[in-house]
Amino acid sequence: MCGRYTLRSSPQQLMSLFGVASLPEFSPRYNIAPTQQVLAFRAVDSSGWADSGVSRSSADAVLGVVRRPALLRWGLVPRWAKDLSVGSQMINARSETAAEKPSFRSAFVSRRCLIPADGFYEWEKRADGRKQPWWIHQPGQSVFAMAGLWESWIPPGGSEAIETCTILTTAAGPDVAGLHDRMPVILAAADWDLWLSAAASKAQLQALLQPLPSGSLLLTRVSMLVNRATVDTPDCLQPDRDLFGDQG
């Protein structure tokens, strides 16, 4: 699964990587948690490419995809839900069944997104019962895109929509399997536009939702501060002190 992640890159780096002209205001994040606002990239009709925050990607001519950034609440709330709290149980969606599940199938068809990150956390249960966080990242700590779905929900009796999202998961690849049996779907950059494209078939989309091969990810044992969702500072990524014999 994916219950916490990081995104420390500068706006300039992200704008260049994802091919957009501007971004919503945000700060580097070291411990992104469910129900918080997260950065995502969605597709807009290519006829609107000149809008603020939109620029053409190299695949536009083939797929008609133009990306637009957005801030979405992490934890998808289906349109038929009566309460926002449902979203806290829908931070992840299994990629194998999302296209059929009532909560996700509509979004899978027409509301897919990219959720940028440069690492995510998983936990190991220690002999003393405490949960030891590990930061899982690519070599070089580069930014990647997780496959996401988004939804627009209007509270009963309300008029203003709340936009929410979920992260798709797949079976853990060999790098992660020792910690957890699931991991977020990490899309190859060459597949970003296909994932966003309205023209993509279900078979094409499902083919993208695979674990990463061995050697794709590195695991770094980090501070127990990560266990507190309210802590979102660089200290979260400090090496765990127990590695150096400090049990305090």
Per-residue confidence (pLDDT) for residue 72, from 0 to 100: 98
Give me the DSSP letters along 160-179: S-EEEEEEEEEEPPTTTTTT
Number of residues in the chain = 248
Task: Name the amino acid, one letter, at 13.
Answer: Q
With vertex at residue 181, the alpha carbon angle to CA 231 and CA 145, rounded to the nearest 5 degrees, is 60
Domain total of the chain: 1
Give just the sign of the alpha carbon dihedral 74, 33, 207, 180.
Answer: negative
Per-residue confidence (pLDDT) for residue 63, from 0 to 100: 61
d(CA 94, CA 246): 39
Per-residue confidence (pLDDT) for residue 27, from 0 to 100: 92
Question: pLDDT tens per residue, the chain (248 residues)?
Answer: 799 999 999 999 999 999 999 999 989 999 999 999 999 999 985 444 333 344 444 444 346 689 999 999 999 999 999 999 999 999 999 999 999 999 999 999 999 999 999 999 999 988 888 899 999 999 999 999 999 999 999 988 888 999 999 999 999 999 999 999 999 999 999 999 999 999 999 999 999 999 999 999 999 999 999 999 999 999 999 987 654 344 33
* Catalytic residue check, 122: yes
pTM: 0.90
CB count in 10 Å sphere of residue 18: 21
Tell me the CATH number at 17. 3.90.1680.10
Three-class DSSP category at 50 = coil
**What is the signed CA dihedral for 235, 133, 164, 192, rounded to 10 degrees?**
90
Nearest to 240 by CA among 158, 121, 88, 103: 121
Residues 50 and 27: beta-carbon distance below 8 Å: no
The one catalytic residue in 2, 113, 165, 236 is 2
Give me the DSSP letters along 106-168: HHHHH-EEEEEESEEEEEEE-TTSPEEEEEEE-GGG--EEEEEEEEEE--TT--S-EEEEEEE
Give just the sign of the alpha carbon dihedral 91, 65, 55, 188.
Answer: positive
Q: Where are the strands (E) in 50-106, listed by range?
A: 55-56, 65-74, 92-94
Per-residue confidence (pLDDT) for residue 219, from 0 to 100: 97
Residues near 132 by Cβ (< 8 Å), separated by ≥ 6? 123, 124, 125, 126, 221, 224, 240
The one catalytic residue in 25, 96, 100, 122 is 122
What residue numbers bound the domain in which 188 lies? 5-244
Nearest to 98 by CA among 109, 83, 113: 109
CA distances from 76 to 88, 108, 120, 128, 191 (A): 8, 12, 19, 35, 23
